[in-house]
Amino acid sequence: MKCRHCKTPLKHVFLNLGYAPHSNAYLNHNQLAHPEKEFPLKLCVCHNCWLVQTEDYSNRADLFTDDYAYFSSVSSSWLKHSQDYAKMIQKRLELNSDSFVIEIASNDGYLLKNFVAEGIPCVGIEPTDSTADVSEKIGVPVIREFFGEKFAQNLAKNNQQADLIIGNNVYAHVPDINDFTLGLKAVLKPGGTITLEFPHLLNLIRLKQFDTAYHEHYSYLSLYTVSQIFEMAGLRIFDVEKLSTHGGSLRVYGCHSENARQTTEAVTAILNEEKEYGLQDLSVYSNFQSEADKIETELIHFLTSQKKNGKKVSAYGAAAKGNTLLNYGKIDNKLIDFVCDAAPSKQGKYLPGSHIPVYHPNQLTISKPDYVLILPWNLKEEISNQIKYVREWGGKLVIPAPELTVLD
């Protein structure tokens, strides 16, 4: 395999999690009796441009299906984050009724509804019917397509170039990152702005967030690598912010290369931070596998000990990162009775691989487990507050990763 960006042959494995089904391929009861497709989940690092990437096995059409089960609006903290962004960017760019905003991977309208409410013309690009249907019901217009250069050129020909292009947690999800970025270039007005949010590779390594690896994430991104990809496309990153979302993310601000806006000191500072940590040194990547193995071993030891002691363990949050964690350790419903999730799209189904049943959150008060694993640890504060009633019967909340922690 060659690097998806610079085409350098890939020789260095960053993380090997064996074989696993797609993390968002939830099963219904009838599917449990049939063989389940599994794919290699291996991440490689390019020693030329330092793009960390999955091996080529998963087709995007198989990952982002019509019944896609992830709905952004389920998380109240994410809705707040999106609302705050909308207010900030409208003011910063002086957006109004004469502006035009495009969001790529607009999901269920969680973000663009804020622009609709302010009378700012916008459209979402969203290939999954399940989320696009919800978006349209709340008045957010949607084009049901995958985004790329050819599609963007057609938008530009139809006078649909944007003052603002938004991409929140989509940049890591595209198999052809060069084509996607050239699409951004094509549909951006001469004075327009791009903002992309994505989990920061530096935090993945530094905080041992190996469970953020799954097939939908084709790329794991540093500012250094994203800057190179932008430059290839005739774009430039002129500003960047650190975010707390998804275990630590970056929000980059991009424009056309020839744009007069000055590059901020924040860009230089983060580039220096990445270099000093060693993100352009193979030794940082070669040591990561052992960290993942240690986390998985500790979780299995905890679960088997509770089982031996007759304790009941359940989980909360049927998240993709939780499925990576469970499937790497071959953890199933013998060790975890069930998982609860607030998303109706997941309730009544089974987790891929582990086949753990997914229930409504009220199942916790019925079963009264001794321990509840919070699988989406990036939302641990939000979830801990939502299910604090677990403590009423002496139950305890557990964060399984990046380090196993039993909350008091």
CA dihedral 67, 108, 359, 323 (to 10 degrees): 70
Our CA angle for 334, 326, 393, nearest 5°, is: 60
Return the closest-CA partner of residue 214 out of 129, 325, 305.
325
What sign results for the dihedral spanned by CA atoms 335, 18, 296, 60?
Answer: negative
Each residue's pLDDT tens digit, 208-236: 999 999 888 999 999 999 999 999 999 99
| Cβ pair 234, 256 in contact under 8 A | yes
Equal fold, 72-277 vs 288-406: yes
Q: Where are the domains of the chain?
A: 72-277, 288-406
| Cβ pair 176, 4 in contact under 8 A | yes
**How far, in Å, CA of 125 to CA of 97, rounded?**
20
Each residue's pLDDT tens digit, 19-66: 999 888 899 999 999 999 999 999 999 999 999 999 876 555 554 555
pLDDT attached to residue 130: 86
Q: Give DSSP secondary structure letters for 293-309.
A: HHHHHHHHHHHHHHHHT
What sign results for the dihedral spanned by CA atoms 358, 360, 361, 367?
Answer: negative
Backbone angles phi, psi at 221, to 5 degrees: -115, 135
Q: Position of tokens 């020909």? A: 157
Architecture of domain 288-406: 3-Layer(aba) Sandwich (3.40)
Each residue's pLDDT tens digit, 144-172: 999 999 999 999 999 999 999 999 999 99
Q: The whole model's pTM is what? A: 0.89
| Cβ pair 254, 184 in contact under 8 A | yes
| Cβ pair 36, 359 in contact under 8 A | no
Give the CATH class of 72-277.
alpha beta
| Cβ pair 44, 12 in contact under 8 A | yes
